[in-house]
Structure 1
Amino acid sequence: MLYNALKLAHVLSIVVWIGGMVFAHFFLRPAAQSLEPAQRVRLMHDVLQRFLAAVSVAVVVVLASGLWMIGRVARQAVQAGGSFSMPLDWTVMATLGLVMMAIFGHIRFALFRRLQRAVAASAWPAGGQALASIRSWVGVNLALGVVTIVVTLLA
């Protein structure tokens, strides 16, 4: 029962993370392009502030639940007298997940801070540059997330 609850929390956290990136990248950002730079940068800042806070929680849930589920399966294998060898799809999922978390950390703690400073200073060109960097890294993370899902479901 606990395993299923953790797996549900794991998947729902990934839905928030990947779904939010899809929404921001393909729907919000293109729609915001019609706004004046000051309005666009402020809007994206405010949206990203909320989204990055939610993803921070999601990352913790994904990491903790993933480690717990792997540990539980490994412990059961050893207790049954066998050995544990992590399946290839789990290895790919865990590796790409850790890379995605590192990229998220860069977005959250470096690039978003640049955006915050630009908004505080009303430096709209600098804010636009920060948003462009965020967009690029979100694109990378989105691609990694999709690859992770494909590998996990098709392996």
Structure 2
Amino acid sequence: MLYNVLKLLHVLSIVVWIGGMVFAHFFLRPAALSLEPPQRIALMHGALQRFFGAVLVAVIVVLGSGVWMIGRVAKETVQAGLPFNMPLSWHIMAGLGVLMMLIFGHIRFALFKRLSRAVAAQDWPAGGAALASIRTWVGINLGLGVAIIACTLLLV
């Protein structure tokens, strides 16, 4: 039962993270382009601040639940007297997932900090540049997230 609850939390956290990136990248940003830079950058800052808080929680849940689930399967396999051979899809999921977490750390703690400073100083060109960098890295993370989902579902 605990395994199933952790798997549910794992998947729901991924839905929040990937779904939020899709929403921000393909819906919020294009709609915000109709606003003047001060309003657009302030709106994106506020939305990203809330989203990044949720993603930080999601990252912790995904990492903790993923490590626990792999550990549990490995322990049960070894206790049954069998060798534990982690499936290729799990290796891909874990490796790319950690890469996504590192990229998120860069986005949240470096690029978003630049955006926050620009908004506080009302330096809209610097804010626009920070948003452009965030957009690029979010796009990369979104691609990695989709690749993880594809590998997990298509590789058995």
TM bucket normalised to smaller: over 0.9
1:84 lines up with 2:84 in the alignment:
yes
Q: Aligned residue for 1:135?
A: 135
Residue identity opposite 1:21 in structure 2: M
Q: Any idea what the Cα deviations from partners look like across 1:18-52, whole Å, max 9, x if unmatched?
A: 00000000000000001000000000000000000
What are the residue-to-residue correspondences of 1:50-65 with 2, within 5 Å?
50-65=50-65
CA distance in 2, matches of 1:124, 1:96: 34
Q: Aligned residue for 1:37?
A: 37
Residue identity opposite 1:3 in structure 2: Y
**TM-fit CA distance, 1:82:** 1.1
**TM-fit CA distance, 1:85:** 1.2
Q: Which runs of 5+ in 1 are unaligned?
A: none
Q: Aligned residue for 1:112?
A: 112
CA distance in 2, matches of 1:44, 1:85: 44
CA distance in 1, matches of 2:92, 2:70: 13
Considering only aligned residues, what root-mean-square deviation do their CA atoms show, in Å?
0.3
CA distance in 1, matches of 2:97, 2:64: 12
4+ residue segments displaced more than 4 Å: none
User: Under a length normalisation based on structure 1, what TM-score does the superposition of the two structures give?
Assistant: 1.00
User: Under a length normalisation based on structure 2, what TM-score does the superposition of the two structures give?
Assistant: 0.99
Name which of structure 1's ranges 19-28 and 79-88 shifts more when overlaid on structure 2. Answer: 79-88
Q: Which runs of 5+ in 2 are unaligned?
A: none
Q: Any idea what the Cα deviations from partners look like across 1:53-88, whole Å, max 9, x if unmatched?
A: 000000000000000000000000110011111100
Partner-residue secondary structure (3-state), 1:83: coil
CA distance in 2, matches of 1:31, 1:77: 50
Percent of aligned positions that are identical:
74
Q: Aligned residue for 1:2?
A: 2
